[in-house]
Amino acid sequence: MKTNIALVGFMGTGKTSMGQVLAKKLIWQFVEVDALIEQMAGKSTPDIFAQDGEIAFRELEIEAIKQVARGKKQVIACGGGVVLNTINIARLKKTSVLILLTASPETVLKRTSADRDSRPMLTAASDPATRIRELLKYRRPYYERAADFTINTSKHSLEQITDQIIEKLRNYEGFNFQG
């Protein structure tokens, strides 16, 4: 029986904001994987990428997912690249329903433009819009393979999307709200 909800998807699709609202509504714990990685490393995500490289970040991500996947009654906001490693998905799938949050490239650009410096996959991009489209194209099959179901966050409020998620979970066999 699955007792966690893991939100996956590209940066700017609403994993953190949606996760916080959903966790509050369900009275569950909210866990942000990138924050856990930063805590483990003792530095920010951009610093991990700059000083140690993406491979070191992904290794920390594997360990963070291993820890988080053991819990119950959690809404887990995963980093955008968590789906690139099958071990992460296998661990999450044991205890979590994986919900893919999507948004149009234009929506992602708008949502990430204010904090581009804190997003390592965009900081070096001379053309963030093109970089977003390239990354989305590359990662889309990974996201779709990992997801139990998909919710587009481009045109709805957090409250509307939360209600959609809860409704889909009520009908999802193998999920337990009680944990």
Q: What is the pLDDT of residue 122?
A: 63
When the candidates are 3.30.1550.10, 3.40.50.300, 3.40.47.10, 2.60.40.10, the CATH number that belongs to 4-170 is 3.40.50.300
Residue 76 has pLDDT above 80, yes or no: yes
Q: What is the pLDDT of residue 113?
A: 76
pTM score, whole prediction: 0.91
| Contact of 102 with 62, CB cutoff 8 Å | no
Q: In what order do the strands lie in the sheet with 4-8?
A: 29-32, 74-77, 4-8, 96-102, 149-152
Which two structure tokens, joined as six digits, stand for 138? 């590359």
pLDDT tens for each residue of 106-126: 898 888 876 656 666 666 667
Q: Distance between CA atoms of 160 and 31, rounded to whole angstroms?
A: 21
Q: What is the pLDDT of residue 118?
A: 63
Three-state DSSP class for residue 120: helix
C-alpha separations of 60 from 8, 29, 100, 109, 139 in Å: 17, 21, 22, 27, 20
Domain boundaries, the chain: 4-170
**Quick one: the chain helix, strand, coil %, rounded to 5?**
60, 15, 25
